[in-house]
Amino acid sequence: MSGFAIDPCDQCEELLQPFLDRDLSEEERMVAENHLTGCEYCRKRYRFEEQLRRFVRQAVVEPMPPELKTKLSELRTPLI
Ligand SMILES: [Zn+2]
């Protein structure tokens, strides 16, 4: 994990968001799943985003734990 000049997963973001929203066609979903299988970075990210979404649904009753906030900012920063 050194010398990443370009984000190798530039288009993952485009796939992952609709994937998480269950907003892809069957074919697109397979592309996304294929990528997740081969890409550890996106897999971790996807897992986290999925957790986050699940959490957001419960967030009406619970505040976000600080470690989740930290994790979130850690994941966001390298993508900008
Ligand atoms: Zn990826």
Three-class SS of the chain: CCCCCCCCCCCHHHHHHHHHCCCCCHHHHHHHHHHHHHCHHHHHHHHHHHHHHHHHHHCCCCCCCHHHHHHHHHHHHHHC
Q: Within a domain: residue 39?
A: yes
Q: Could you list the residue range(s) of the whole structural domain that residue 27 is in?
A: 12-79
Give the model's pLDDT for residue 67: 87
Q: Within a domain: residue 72?
A: yes
State the distance from the centre of ligand 1 to the C-alpha of 60, rounded, in angstroms: 31
User: What residues have their beta carbon closer than 5 A to ion ligand 1?
Assistant: 9, 12, 39, 42
For 20-57, what is each residue's pLDDT tens digit? 888 889 998 998 898 889 888 889 988 998 888 888 78
* Contacts (Cβ under 8 Å, ≥6 apart) of 64: 55
**Number of domain units in the chain:** 1
Q: Within a domain: residue 2?
A: no
